[in-house]
């Protein structure tokens, strides 16, 4: 039986946190006494299927991320901390540039999704090995409406066929590298990695995720994150 190949996680943490209004990049905000991004990095660090991690941060925050997060908290798998770009897509591209050709699977996970689990990371990796690409997503709960610029409803969509994409998103290395290369040539911008892979005509599988796997973007998200932590502590 062929041994599993290397898996590298690319973790974009390049946001400036303007929507947080906190005066500091949101990935450095404190959650449960530690920097926000540390929560996701710790999970990746202890996930057996992940070989190493490439952390992508704003250029001016690279030294801070290295000393205050990676070194201070002893993250063994974060082997590279690289400067990001102007957008998430550019930051992921910078991370992909650091991934060697000997890597089988690339896992992209947002640094500001603190509640990812080892199990869902492992399941996304296995699904990527099987299908070429896989994302963690949750089924839509509410009834989605499509509206025009005038905010008048044009049609109601069938929610049973709709999923909300999260991360991690995992892909065979060659596939995601090619997707990003062709997107750059065509000046195509997407809000997630799977959309770029889909452009190549490749099907991407879904691994059902959790509604706790929120992305911290606004002050309200921090309140929700603290509530999730409190609930988790109450169960222990």
Provide DSSP, the chain. Answer: -PPP-EEEEEEE-----GGGTSSS-GGGSEETTEEHHHHHHHHHHH-TT--EEEEEE-GGGHHHHIIIIIITTT-SSEEEEEE--SSHHHHHHHHHTT--TTEEEEEE--TT-TT--HHHHHHHHHHHHHHSEEEEEEE--S--EEE-TT--EEEE--GGG-EEEEEEEEEEHHHHHHHHHHHHHHT---SSHHHHHHTTT---EEEE--TT-----SHHHHHHHHHHHHHHHHH-
Domains parsed from the chain with CATH numbers: 6-235 (3.90.550.10)
Q: What is the pLDDT along the chain (236 residues), one digit of tens a residue?
A: 456 799 999 999 976 656 665 567 889 999 999 999 999 999 999 999 999 999 999 999 999 999 999 999 999 999 999 999 999 999 999 999 999 999 999 999 999 999 999 999 999 999 999 999 999 999 999 999 999 999 999 999 999 999 999 999 999 999 999 999 999 999 999 999 999 999 999 999 999 999 999 999 999 999 999 999 999 888 65
- Write down the pTM of the prediction: 0.93
């Amino acid at each position: 039986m062929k041994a599993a190949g290397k898996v590298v996680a690319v973790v974009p943490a390049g946001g400036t946190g303007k929507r947080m209004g906190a005066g500091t990049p949101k990935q450095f905000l404190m959650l449960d006494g530690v920097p926000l991004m540390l929560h996701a990095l710790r999970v990746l660090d202890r996930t057996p299927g992940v070989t190493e991690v490439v952390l992508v941060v704003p250029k001016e925050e690279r030294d801070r991320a290295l000393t205050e997060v990676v070194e201070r908290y002893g993250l063994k798998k974060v082997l590279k901390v690289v400067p990001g770009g102007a957008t998430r897509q550019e930051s992921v591209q910078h991370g992909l540039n650091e991934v060697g050709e000997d890597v089988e699977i690339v896992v992209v996970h947002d640094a500001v999704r603190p509640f990812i689990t080892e199990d869902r990371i492992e399941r996304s990796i296995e699904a990527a090995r099987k299908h070429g690409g896989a994302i963690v997503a949750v089924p839509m709960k509410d009834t989605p409406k499509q509206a025009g610029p005038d905010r008048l409803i044009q049609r109601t969509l069938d929610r049973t066929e709709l999923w909300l994409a999260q991360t991690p998103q995992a892909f065979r290395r060659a596939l995601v590298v090619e997707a990003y290369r062709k997107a750059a040539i065509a000046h195509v911008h997407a809000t997630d990695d799977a959309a770029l892979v889909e452009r190549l005509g490749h099907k991407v599988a879904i691994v059902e995720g959790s509604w706790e796997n929120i992305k911290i973007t606004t002050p309200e998200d921090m309140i929700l994150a603290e509530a999730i932590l409190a609930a988790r502590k109450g169960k222990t």
